[in-house]
């Protein structure tokens, strides 16, 4: 299950990067930094990524998810800081 989430996250990032053309997103891994500090995404790109990812996760797991809730977006240790933290966050929301 975790592998499937990771695959979806990485595919979504790669597709977004077709437009962003960021070197650090050409071959994303679990360690890729996403948002905040040296993250590859700015706020608009993050929103686009989250919106797309929510759709894909919902389709794949047949469960509606809200990734960008207030708590997650304002958390000091944001789940959007890296691919790895995001995969764990999605996994926890899916309850798997």
Partner 1 sequence: MRESKKISLEDHMGFIKSLKTLNDRKYFALMKEEEILGSLNFVKDGKLFWGLYFKDEVNPMYKSLACYIFLNYIFSKFDEDLNSFIKKNNPQALSFNKNFGFSEYKSDEEYIYLKLSSKEWDEKKESKLLSPVKKYLSKTTYSIKE
Give me the residues that bind partner 1 (CB under 8 A), please. Answer: 15-16, 18-20, 35, 42-52, 55, 68, 70, 73-74
Of 44 and 77, the one with the shorter C-beta distance to partner 1 is: 44
Secondary structure (3-state) at 26: coil
Of 3 and 23, the one with the shorter C-beta distance to partner 1 is: 23
Query: What is the number of alpha carbons within 13 Å of residue 88 lying toward its C-beta?
Result: 12
Q: For residues 94 and 4, is the Cβ–Cβ distance under 8 A?
A: no
Q: Closest separation between CB of residue 84 and partner 1, Å?
A: 20
**Angstrom distance (rounded) from CA 89 to CA 87:** 5
Of 43 and 77, the one with the shorter C-beta distance to partner 1 is: 43
């Amino acid at each position: 299950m975790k592998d499937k989430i990771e695959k979806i996250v990485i595919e979504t990032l790669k597709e977004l990067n077709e437009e962003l053309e960021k070197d650090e997103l050409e071959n994303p891994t679990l360690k890729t930094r996403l948002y905040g500090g040296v993250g590859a995404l700015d706020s608009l790109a993050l929103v686009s990524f989250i919106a797309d990812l929510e759709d894909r996760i919902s389709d794949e797991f047949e469960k509606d998810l809200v990734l960008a809730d207030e708590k997650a977006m304002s958390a000091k240790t944001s789940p959007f800081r890296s691919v790895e933290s995001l995969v764990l966050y999605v996994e926890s929301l899916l309850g798997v």
